[in-house]
Amino acid sequence: MQATGTALSRFAKQVSNVFIPPTWSVLMFWSVSIKLGHSLWQILVWGSIGTFFTAVLPILYVGWLEKRGKVTHKHIPLRSQRNGPYLLSLLLWLFTFLLLYITKAPDFLLAAVLASIGNTLFIFIVNLFWKISAHMLGTAGPLIILSFSFGWWAAPLYIFLLLIGWSRILLKAHTPAQAVWGGISGLVLTYVQMAFYLK
């Protein structure tokens, strides 16, 4: 019985380590860029901009904070330590929008970035009072964007939202309420924003 529990914990840790918000950001940028880009150059430029500014830089920054002892873990379990990374993410998303606009990215991709800016601002404000799951919000948002782009073909990916929520709760990184509200917030906010920007 203990071995089973240990195996589940190891699996949950792998899920939490692999399926972080930057993972979904990268998937979203490259999938949409491949679909909407009219040339290999456009695909590479838009995909690379999104990857570098919304995945590579945030991961490097959190790694630097952990090395300096500014955060206790790469997933930043303490609410008080999340404000700085959220603010940096907000700035990086804004810069991403600017670069995509300059490189004439399609309206859909710009709308996706604006929705992500809104989501990041939302979780930053909520974090001032209560910790909700960035894993869940950062998964739910891109899933909605992929659904707008690919329709029902994106539906199977939603199983990952349940899997990630389970892993965060099992690891006691979040309460069930924090995980659920992170997921619901990401789904609803992103849907409303995408519907507004694309109308």
Q: Dump the DSSP string for 86-116.
A: HHHHHHHHHHHHHHHHHTT--HHHHHHHHHH
pLDDT at residue 6 in the model: 87
- Domain locations in the chain as residue ranges: 10-198
Over residues 120-152, the pLDDT tens digits come to: 999 999 999 999 999 999 999 999 999 999 999
Q: Each residue of 129-163: b (16+ CB within 10 Å) or e? A: eebbbbbbbbbbbbbbbbbbbeeeebeebbebbeb
Over residues 60-87, the pLDDT tens digits come to: 999 999 999 999 999 999 999 999 999 9
Q: Give the closest residue to 36 by CA, choosing from 102, 100, 108.
A: 108
**3 falls in which pLDDT band (50, 70, 90)?**
low
Q: What is the mean pLDDT of residues 86-95?
A: 98
Indicate whether 1 pLDDT > 60: no
pTM, full prediction:
0.95
